[in-house]
Amino acid sequence: MQRVPILKLGDILIVSIQVDLEDQGVLALQEDLAGAVVENGAKGVIIDITAVEIVDSFIGRMLATIASTCGMLDAQTVVVGMRPAVAITLVELGLSLGGVRTALNLEKGVALLDHIRSATR
């Protein structure tokens, strides 16, 4: 099973998913990311899904679960790079990803995290 790398940029962790994840890969990512948030004292997490072409209901629910888990650990999560087909599929599956913030790209995701953090200070 291939692990997804987690990069650190200041107090933000960046996860760039470059392959279509299997169920076990998503579960491993959830564990790895939660550990990295605690270990690094991260205040923000960006999950870049630009390369993801296909999602199913499990992957969609896990994105929401990952964001929720990070939130419990005091890190805001933004999903960036969602393709139109992925957004359409999630809507068709009835998955609104409630509570998950999204941005069009990495740059806008970082700006959104900065805005969120400055509003809560």
What pLDDT, on the 0 to 100 scale, is given for residue 121?
67
Residue 12 has pLDDT above 80, yes or no: yes
Other C-beta atoms within 10 Å of 32: how many? 15
| pLDDT digit string, tens, across residues 25-76 | 888 999 999 999 999 999 999 999 999 888 888 888 888 999 999 999 999 9
CB 94 within 8 A of CB 56: no
What pLDDT, on the 0 to 100 scale, is given for residue 59?
84
